[in-house]
Amino acid sequence: MRRTHTRQATVGGSAPSISAIAGQQLTVPALVRARAAESPDAVAVEHGGQAISYSTLMRAADSWTSRLATAGVRAGDRVAVRMGRSPELVAVLLGIMGRGAAYVPLDPAYPEQRLQLMLDDADVVAVVGDRDFDDPRRRVLHVGEPLRPRVPVVGRCAISEDVAYVLYTSGSTGRPKGVELTHAGATDMLLWAAQVFGDDLGRVLASTSICFDCSILEIFGPLTVGGTTVLGDGPLAIGSASSATGVRLLHSVPSVIDELLRHDSLPPTVRTAIVGGEAVWAGLVRTVYERSAIAKLVNLYGPTEYTSYATMAVLDPELEGEPPIGRPVANTRIELLDPSGAPVPSGAAGEIFISGAGLARGYLHSPGQTAERFVPAAGAVGQRAYRTGDLGQWSAGQLRFGGRVDDQVKVRGVRIEPVEVERALLAHPSIREAVVLSSTAQSCSADDGPPEIRLTAHLVAGTDISTDPASLRRFLGERLPSAMLPAAYVFAQRLPRLPNGKIDRSLLRPVVTPVRAPTVRAPYSDTEGLLVRLWGETLAVEAVDPDADLFDLGGHSLTALAVRERLQRRLGTTLPAALFFEHATIATLATAIDRVMAATTIGRASESGRQVAEVAALSATQRALVHREGPSLMLVTRVTGRLQVPAMLDALRTLQRRHTLLRSVLVQTPSGSGWRAGPDRAPLVVDVTSAGLSVERLTERAIASVVDRPWTLDREPPARWVVVRRGPTDHLLVVALHPAAADTWSVESLGHQALELYAASIHSRPAGPGRFVQYSELAAERYERVAADELARQRGFWTDELGDAPALEPPGHAVRSERPGPALIEEFTLPAASVATIHDLARKARATPQIVAVALHAVALHAWTGQNEFVVGCPTSGRPLPEHSTVVGPAGDAVPVRCRVRSGQTLGEVLEQVRDRALAGYGADAVPFVELAASGPRDPARHPVYQTSVVLLARPSLLDPGYSAEIAGRQPIGAVELEPLGERPTVTALDLELGLYPHGSGIECTSLSRSDAVSRSDLRRYGHQFRGLVAAAAHHPERTVGEWAAVLRHDSEWLPPPVRD
């Protein structure tokens, strides 16, 4: 029975439709150009503080196409690219491919000798390089020149069958070999990725060198779906890079993911992680799901010769044993064959042969090697297959990797033929024989941590270098990438031989422990000492000589970046990554770091002074709230079980030390009111088990004394902490917060932080990072960054935007009161199909799902009220960066969006108008919402800015009840159970609130209204209309607002049938 597995493409997803590029060849630039035509102003590429739109990107790409044509580049030529990472890099690649030429990426970090070898082999007609690069042998086009107008290009441009790029891999002949990849293969992969990863391609970190195949997905995957490519300078920098904010998809090798997780550097926005290039271990899979917000961990397998990916497995959190590499991706066929070319029996191991749409054209200038590896496909007449040299085995419908047929290995994701390293060693005049072996060394992190592949070189050499591995490493470093350098060198007078004269490799043993420096001197400075400790821990070396070459001790690019990450956390500052590669010894690295730190201290002196100011000024929000009477924010949790009270009290005191505002009192200064920090205060412990008295009544009194007692902020901090003892296994944790010191997010965050600190205390673990962003810093950062003239402009914008906005008039005849009672609440669910509609509308309009929800809400409101105009509030947490997630304070904000709907507009036109108004509002967010509220009309029975709001929470969000409960459940708090208590009846100042909470494949919706403004039947009718609109919107894009209103007002026409997910 032939063991063949094939996967065909499916239709749908977020990829551009073929009709969008009708009349064009299906090429990588054509896919991007289709998105640029749809959303020219959307952000296409970001790098550091620079961002360019799709229209700018395509203008730059067209300019490069014209320059290349003028320089004589024709379709079918090859153009080398040797430049740093910037948005222009993407334009250059598109420009080359658009001309019909293929780009040949050159990493500037590679040794010059290897780069010249690749240039010669590729026979490039030109090189695109940075301004400081020159090559007297070739035509060089420098980057950074002004854009040139697009001119007609003589001759044909790219077609699907053209080679799009040439990637060099390690060669079995000892020379790197160029793989020719076509547009047809690349576009097939990109369209597949758009269907599989969907919205997560909307913002992707592209940190891989363009010399490697996964860079194609990282760079062009987002551009295929209208998303943003965030160029990064290294995957380990994602945790501290501001540009990484919002990144939803991360692609890296497993060891990098492990490093990010161990240092809690993975942004909470990452929803999909793709791993490949190395074997994945089960322990990492569990850790990913336990310690991050990642919802999907994907294991991709495939050689460069098959356009990056051939199989895919979404790894299960409960995975046991070795993770599989999955099933074929779209338009791909996998066969397992024995050495004779026959199919292997079911369940047996065989060599993996891959055929399908992603197959490369072959090896450049190497017909012999092409014929050897690209063979006729078994059972498919006229088709070719790539012979991978990998062993695989089918198990329960999943392909499992079984090692290499030959000696090829991957080191830190880089594919290496050991013979290439051997040939480089033999080029040294003193080396007579060389054998390079690989071995697996266990990481020093966890017992089930990432195994590391290391190379050992066995040498027969002259005595002049036999005791000097450092000189050999320098020699190889001029010829090979760092990943190909052996970690250890073993010298011998002769190598063992077989009877036939060949080297007996079975008698050679790899060195599995890193080399230790022969002599170790003491560090000269504190920085040297810290680096010695960090490098020693990272390399698992007992002692590191500050003068030793770190890369001779087993260091490489990932370990250097890991040390940088740890050092930055210790020093509380950011250090240039280049330092850790430019300085090979701790001594020189420490000197360079001391210089940077000195300059940083001088440059940031004024900033540091602000951060440690004796009195923190009140923010605009706090000035509006500090003297306002109103209910306290509270957290009341019942803890049943053996609560360790001292540990909980310690956790609460740590929270006060962590968040300065929670231990501050209000003071008056010549410049106004402010917060002066004091010492943390011991939480009260109240025992209500006195004999003869009601425990329940005493509990109620204890809670009331904390929550309802008036605040005197000039004599007490804005936070109260009490632990109520109701019995040996029954306690309450009661926290009350003044509204000037917290918001809803703060309450949730404090609850989670308290559990985290309690768990750390009872398990004797460190309490986590010691530096937390303070609310005063966040507020100052937000409002001090805007110049006075810009702030005046934004205030003027809001005056014009909201000045004559009408109030919402719900149906019915409301009798409003100044103090509305408990809110009316209705709940309903949007099924997966409706969620897909929201995301599809967002993609088409280049809007966020939140903006789509506002537009749908506006159309439903028109049907509900008959009004054509209203203001919709969009609440935000006010915490834009991951490091702000733990900020405690009234940071929450809102952006009003003025919606105008007309009966003749289609839903798409309404969405476009709402998107434009929303983006304008978000661009004027330096004006605090409390300022807008203060300038609004004074009507005690109405909200002064808007009377309706919509919020669609994107997980992870602490305001999503499901996610909040989920992360609370992750804390190992022992044999205790938690139950929230004391929740007050929900009250809203708005006529209608709509909250959308993603849950599973659907969205749980909650609508709230003032009970004095909206009847329950009207609230329920709104929910039906909104749900019906979303369900039917995808099927009737031509309907106008007037038609929708007519349909939605008649239940029988719009009520969707029951949906079964």
Closest CA to 780 of 634, 670, 887: 887
Same domain assignment for residues 441 and 575: no
Q: Residue 502 above 60 pLDDT?
A: no
Position 579 in a domain: yes
Boundary-marking domain end, from 474, 507, 540: 507
- Residue with the bigger pLDDT between 772 and 213: it is 213
Q: What is the pLDDT, as a whole number, of residue 609?
A: 34
Total residue count of the chain as it appears in this document:
1061
Any domain includes 977: no
**Which contiguous run of DSSP H or E holds residue 245?**
none
Least confident of 288-292, 784-788, 824-828: 784-788
Structure tokens belonging to residue 860: 């439903």
Instruction: Label residue 329 by pLDDT band (50, 70, 90).
Output: very high
> What single DSSP character describes residue 69?
H
pLDDT at 452: 64
**Section 691-710 average pLDDT:** 83
Domain with residue 446: its CATH number is 3.30.300.30
Least confident of 401-405, 500-504, 728-732: 500-504
pLDDT at 964 over 80: no
**What is the average per-residue pLDDT within 274-284?**
79
Q: Give every CB contact of residue 769 below 8 A, 6+ residues apart in sequence.
A: 264, 569
The overall average pLDDT reported for the chain is: 81
Residues 651, 559 within the same domain: no
Q: Give the HSE-up count for residue 33: Cα atoms under 13 Å, Cβ half-sphere.
A: 21
Average pLDDT over residues 406-434: 74
pLDDT at 301 (0 to 100): 94
pLDDT at 103 over 90: yes
519 inside domain: no
Closest by CA to 81, choosing from 20, 36, 162, 142, is 142
pLDDT at 322 over 50: yes
Tokens representing 595? Answer: 């210089």
Same domain, 248 and 390: yes
Pair 901, 811 in one domain: yes
Question: Minimum mean pLDDT among 88-97, 177-186, 935-944, 957-966: which range?
Answer: 957-966
Q: Residue 261: name the closest of 291, 282, 298 by CA.
A: 291
pLDDT of residue 686: 85
CA-based diameter of the chain, in Å? Answer: 103
In this prediction, residue 429 has a pLDDT band, given cuts at 50, 70 and 90, of confident
Complete DSSP assignment for 887-908: --SS--EEEEEEEE--TT-BHH
Residue of higher predicted confidence among 726 and 515: 726
- What pLDDT score was predicted for residue 447? 38
- pLDDT category of residue 466 using cuts at 50, 70 and 90: very low
294-303, 577-586, 902-911, range with the lowest pLDDT? 577-586
Q: Which of 778, 809, 839 is the endpoint of a domain?
A: 778
Q: Report yes or no on 520 lying in a domain.
A: no
Written as one letter, the residue type at 88 is E
Q: How far is CA 708 from the centre of its chain?
A: 42
Determine the average pLDDT of the residues in 930-952.
86
Residues 831 and 955 in one domain: yes
Same domain (yes/no): 701, 807: no
Among 420-424, 452-456, 710-714, the range with the most confident prediction by mean pLDDT is 710-714
865, 809 contact by CB (below 8 A): yes
* Domain count of the fold of the chain: 5
pLDDT of residue 319: 82
Instruction: Give pLDDT tens digits for 830-856.
Output: 988 888 888 788 777 766 788 899 999
What was the pLDDT predicted at 414?
65
Picking from 201-215, 513-527, 599-613, which range would have the lowest pLDDT averaged per residue? 599-613
Do residues 590 and 667 both lie within one domain?
no
The fraction of the chain above a pLDDT of 90, given in percent, is: 32
Least confident of 78-87, 404-413, 1034-1043: 404-413
Cβ–Cβ under 8 Å, residues 282 and 307: no
Q: What would the mean pLDDT of 1019-1024 be, rounded to a whole number?
A: 92
- Greater model confidence, 749 or 961: 749
Contact (CB, 8 A) for 378 and 353: yes
pLDDT at 446 over 50: no
In this model, does residue 586 exceed pLDDT 80? yes
Predicted local confidence at residue 919, as pLDDT: 77
pLDDT exceeds 50 at position 518:
no
Together in a domain, 392 and 423? no
pLDDT in tens, 3-50: 345 544 332 234 444 444 544 578 999 999 999 999 999 999 998 878
Contact at 8 Å (CB) between 309 and 358? yes
The pLDDT-based confidence of 966 (bands split at 50, 70, 90) is low
Q: What are 250-259's pLDDT values in tens digits?
A: 998 887 787 7
| Candidate from 449-458, 807-816, 953-962 with smallest mean pLDDT | 953-962
Q: Are residues 48 and 177 in the same domain?
A: yes
For residue 321, give the DSSP letter: S
| Residues 216, 221: Cα–Cα separation, whole Å | 7
The pLDDT value recorded for residue 98 is 93
Among candidate residues 217, 223, 199, 218, the one with its CA nearest the CA of residue 207 = 218
Task: Work out the pLDDT band at 1038, boundaries 50, 70, 90.
Answer: confident
* d(C-alpha 190, C-alpha 197), whole Å: 10
Percentage with pLDDT > 70 across the chain = 80
For residue 77, what are its two tokens?
Answer: 């030529």
Does residue 479 sit in the same domain as residue 580? no
Note the pLDDT of residue 137.
86
Instruction: Please enumerate in sequence order all residues whose Cβ is within 8 A of that of 784, keeping only pairs 6 or more positions apart, or say none.
Output: none
Confidence of residue 441 (pLDDT cuts 50, 70, 90): low
More confident site: 763 or 317: 317
State the Cα torsion 26-27-29-32 to the nearest 10°.
Answer: 50
C-alpha closest to that of 168 among 414, 472, 376? 414
- Over residues 751-759, the mean pLDDT reads 84
- Most confident by average pLDDT, 628-632, 682-686, 710-714: 710-714
User: What CATH number has the domain bearing residue 909?
Assistant: 3.30.559.30
pTM above 0.95, yes or no: no
The CATH number linked to 568 is 1.10.1200.10
**566 neighbors 557 (Cβ within 8 angstroms):** no
In a domain, 2, yes or no: no
DSSP per residue, 171-206: -TTSS-EEEEEEHHHHHHHHHHHHHHHGGGGGEEEE
C-alpha–C-alpha distance, residues 144 and 67, integer Å: 13
Do 124 and 67 belong together in one domain? Answer: yes
Nearest Cα neighbor of 421 from 456, 471, 461, 388 is 456
Q: What is the mean pLDDT of residues 572-578?
A: 66
**If pLDDT is split at 50, 70 and 90, which confidence band does 972 have?**
low
Task: Say yes or no to pLDDT of 816 above 50.
Answer: yes
Query: By CB neighbour count within 10 A (0-12 exposed, 13-18 middle, 19+ buried), where does 919 fall?
Result: middle
- Residue 513 counted as domain residue: no
Angle in degrees, 0-180, between the axes of helices 87-98 and 54-70, rounded to the nearest 10: 50
Q: Tally the C-alpha atoms within 13 A of residue 424's C-alpha that lie toward its C-beta.
A: 31
My answer on whether 354 and 418 are in the same domain is no
| Rounded Cα–Cα distance for residues 968 and 951 (Å) | 23
Cis previous bond, 811, omega within 30: no
Question: For position 643, which CATH number holds?
Answer: 3.30.559.10
Q: What SS3 class is residue 548?
A: coil
CATH number of the domain that residue 247 is part of: 3.40.50.12780
Whether 918 shows a pLDDT value over 90: the answer reads no
> Any residues with CB less than 8 A from the CB of 968 and at least 6 apart, and which?
751, 752, 755, 978
**Cα distances (angstroms) measured from residue 896 to each of 621, 632, 784, 794, 801:** 16, 26, 22, 13, 9
pLDDT at 612 over 60: no
Residue 886 in domain: no
Structure tokens at 692: 């003869």
Structural domain boundaries enclosing 578: 526-603
By mean pLDDT, which of 680-694, 710-724, 976-990 is the weakest? 976-990
Residue ending a domain, choose from 400, 430, 449: 400
Question: pLDDT higher for 872 or 704?
Answer: 872
670 vs 495, residue with greater confidence: 670
Give domain status of residue 462, yes or no.
yes
Q: What's the pLDDT at 982?
A: 58
What is residue 149's DSSP assignment?
A: P
